[in-house]
Amino acid sequence: MGRVPKDMRQLMQQAQKMQEEMQRAQQELADKTYEGTAGGGVVKAVVRGSGQLERVEFDASVLDPEDPEFVGDLVVAAVNQAMAAMADDASSAMGGVTGGLDLGGMLG
């Protein structure tokens, strides 16, 4: 009962290697930044790969006291674009680690 079949050991080794590669890929992603823009570039949002919003920059020309919601809409659009870029990069990176294997959200 104490012996593990050879193919099971190999499977466990492969799983451990995949986990290490995924942790490395997640750390690399967390260190990256992603940019999104809106309004023809008058608003720019930068997010980290960890999902944290790092900064929002905008041209003062978009500040209209008659329409304050406009700037809010542009900020939301820029942040969403940056988050989408981050998600695409994460999907590509994790797909490379798992060899395209769909693990159904088991990886975090």
pLDDT surpasses 50 at 38: yes
Element spanning 43, H or E: strand 43-48
3-state secondary structure of 66: coil
- Considering only residues 77 and 100, tell me which one the structure prediction assigns the higher pLDDT: 77
Q: Enumerate the domain spans of the chain.
A: 58-94
pLDDT digits (tens, 9 = 90+) for 58-70: 999 988 999 989 9
- Within 10 A of 102 (CB to CB), how many other CB atoms are there? 8
Alpha-carbon distance 12 to 97, whole Å? 16
Alpha-carbon distance 94 to 108, whole Å? 11
Query: What are 7's two structure tokens?
Result: 């193919």
Q: What is the pTM of this model?
A: 0.72
